[in-house]
Chains A and B, each alone.
Chain A
C-alpha cells in the first residue's frame, strides 16, 4: 500500500541528546513536510522540501535540522538546541506545491524528553 511511514512511533530522549525521526514515503511525491503538534494546539511547520537536495525553514525551525538526499526520505533531527522538544511530530507529503494538492500525513511520532 502507498503511504507515509514514520518511525519510531514513540521515542524518549535524554537532555543534551540529538535524535532523528525517520519519514519515508512511497507515493512518489515531490514535496515533504515536518510539523510539530503540541497538546490542544494546531500544527506548526518546522521544515519543508520541494525537491531532492533542497529544503526550507518553516515557522519553528530553530533546534531542528533535516536532509533530503532521496525523494522518498525526509528525516528530521531534533538537536540538543531545541529547548522544548517534547511533542507529537508529523511528517507529510504532497505531489507538488500547487495550493489545491492534498497533503497526506504519516501516523506521527511521539518524542518525550526524560
Chain B
C-alpha cells in the first residue's frame, strides 16, 4: 500500500537557520507529491507540489525535489522566519483502484522558529 514517513518533530530552530524536513514514501504507480502547511487552529494549505520525478516544487522560499531513486521529497528552506512556525505535512496522491484520487499523509512535523 501507499505510505509516507516524515521526520519526527518537534523541530525548533532560530530565525534565519536552515530547515530540512525529511519525507520518504512508498507507492504503487506514479504518485504526485505535496507539502501542506497547517497553522494553529486552521485547515491545511498547499505549500508546494511536484507531479513527476526530478520536478522541483517551490513556494515562499521553500523547496522540495521529487527524487524517485531515493523515494524522497525533503522540504528545505534556506532561512526560516518566526512566521514559518506551523505543522508541515508531506503527502502523496495516487489514483486509487476506484479511480478517485486520495491523499496519503505523513504524521506531520511541528516546526517552531524562535526570534
Contact = CB atoms under 8 A, between A and B. Distances in A.
A100 interface: yes
Interface string A86-100: 000010101011111
A65 B30 CA distance: 31
B101 A41 contact: no
Contacts of A96: 101
Interface in A44-66: 44-45, 48, 50, 56, 58
Interface residues of B, number: 28
Residue among A42, A50, A90, A104 with max Cβ neighbours from chain B (10 Å): A42
A99 B31 contact: yes
A104 B99 CA distance: 19
Interface string A3-35: 010100000000000000000000000010100
Contacts, number: 74
A56 B102 CA distance: 11
Interface of A: 4, 6, 31, 33, 40-45, 48, 50, 56, 58, 90, 92, 94, 96-108
Interface in B92-115: 93-95, 98-103, 105-108
A100 B32 contact: yes
B77 to A, nearest CB: 20
Contact of A43 (B42, B93, B103): B103
